[in-house]
Amino acid sequence: MIQPVADPVTIEQAAALLRSGALCAFPTETVYGLGADATNSDAVVKLYETKGRPRFNPLICHCADLAMAEHYALFSPLARELAAAFWPGPLTLVLPLKRESGLSDLVTAGLDTVGVRVPAHPLARDLIAALGRPVAGPSANPSGRLSPTTADHVHQGFAGRVPVLDGGPCEQGLESTILAVEGDTVTQLRAGALPRQQVEAALGRDIPVAAAGSAIAAPGMLRSHYAPNALLRLDASAPQSGEAWLGFGPGPAHDGPVLNLSPVGNLREAARNLFSYLARLDASGVAKIAVAPIPQNGLGEAINDRLDRAAAPRAAPAPGPGARA
Ligand code: AMP
Ligand code: MG
């Protein structure tokens, strides 16, 4: 039987794991990350294998501060403006890679760009600073499954085989927003915890969204992702018999399993609860989860993106399609 690994208790213990080439999951304000030293290819291979993640899907490099990020990525004035406005925080910038900077090629999946972010969670920043190098950190879950927002989720996802630095529940609960910046142009690759409207307000211009399947958005923008075992039925007005209900705002009575993302209809609260409530309803063993409509404004863009991917037809073993009603 595989023995569960011991969790690090201090930042220094977690940094020592990363320094030795081992993996260590760590808290961020978005979701828990599965950390590896981004300059150590052996560690990054271990990361891809542990997650079961396709190697063409590049990893976000978590940096302690802008100075560390500038060592690996080329910042245009626009990129610097975005970093100044939103770092530390839930914004990843995809920027031209500085070659010969020491980053493992596996982190960027061989692309000539790199995704960099300075997380706001104090434990994440202290850990990266203690390591002194960027930490590659995809969400700490087996590829394609729900993202973890507690240390317990990570332990469950990897059956106790990955050590976790426990920082309590994640404040935001949704992955970072990803913007690609090329010179003076900016495109949103993934909706996330920083609403696009907030970035548009700061820059005073509209931000186009990369078309699904376009070359720039392609790596990792997999249609089926964030999937629970149960099928999802989206935009449902009410649950049917045999379904669980994931509500938003005042909801219908139901005699099956029910959780409400935000009874008062608050999108921040809904974002924070999304993955953990999906996991809880999934654990009840229901075959299908009906989900109330979520407005598309602000954080709703990212919440609906995650729900769409969670409902998308799965690769094998195919349990059948989920659908937006
Ligand atoms: P995850 O680690 O699951 O949060 O996913 C990270 C996302 O960032 C993936 O969907 C990647 O495709 C995207 N990403 C990371 N680096 C790059 C890059 N250099 N170019 C385009 N997308 C990137
Ligand atoms: Mg992920």
The CATH number of whichever domain residue 74 belongs to comes to 3.90.870.10
Percentage of the chain modeled with pLDDT above 70? 93
* Residue-number span of the structural domain to which 277 is assigned: 231-324
99 burial level (CB within 10 Å; 0-12, 13-18, 19+): exposed
- The answer to whether residue 3 sits within a structural domain is no
Q: How far is the CA of 59 from the centre of ligand 1 (A)?
A: 5
Q: Do 198 and 235 sit in the same domain of this protein? A: no
- The answer to whether residue 299 sits within a structural domain is yes
Q: Do 162 and 47 sit in the same domain of this protein? A: yes
The residues, any chain, with a CB within 8 Å of residue 157's CB and separated by 6 or more, are 140, 141, 142, 145, 148
Which pLDDT belongs to residue 4?
Answer: 72
- The answer to whether residue 54 sits within a structural domain is yes
Which pLDDT belongs to residue 301?
Answer: 97
Q: Do 179 and 264 sit in the same domain of this protein? A: no
Q: Do 197 and 285 sit in the same domain of this protein? A: no
Q: Do 180 and 71 sit in the same domain of this protein? A: yes
Which residue, judged by its Cα, is nearest atom 5 of ligand 1? 138
Which residue, judged by its Cα, is nearest atom 1 of ligand 1? 138
Task: Please give the average per-residue pLDDT across 246-250, as a whole number.
Answer: 97
Q: How far is the CA of 4 from the centre of ligand 1 (A)?
A: 29
Inform me whether the pLDDT recorded for 114 exceeds 60: yes
Percentage of the chain modeled with pLDDT above 90? 83
The CATH number of whichever domain residue 270 belongs to comes to 3.40.50
Task: Please give the average per-residue pLDDT across 204-213, as a whole number.
Answer: 90
Across 179-183, 196-200, 311-315, least confident range: 311-315
Which pLDDT belongs to residue 63?
Answer: 98
Select from 225, 229, 271, 226 the least CA-distant residue to 248: 271
- The answer to whether residue 224 sits within a structural domain is no
Q: How far is the CA of 61 from the centre of ligand 1 (A)?
A: 10
Task: Please give the average per-residue pLDDT across 14-26, as a whole number.
Answer: 98
Q: Which of 203, 218, 245 is the last residue of a domain?
A: 203
Which pLDDT belongs to residue 212?
Answer: 76
Which pLDDT belongs to residue 213?
Answer: 72
Inform me whether the pLDDT recorded for 322 exceeds 50: no
- The answer to whether residue 5 sits within a structural domain is no
Q: Do 269 and 179 sit in the same domain of this protein? A: no
**Ligand number nearest to the C-alpha of 216:** 1
Which of 91, 145, 190, 214 is the best mutation target for the ligand 1 pocket, counting ligand atoms within 8 Å of the beta carbon and taking the most?
Answer: 190
Q: Do 179 and 272 sit in the same domain of this protein? A: no
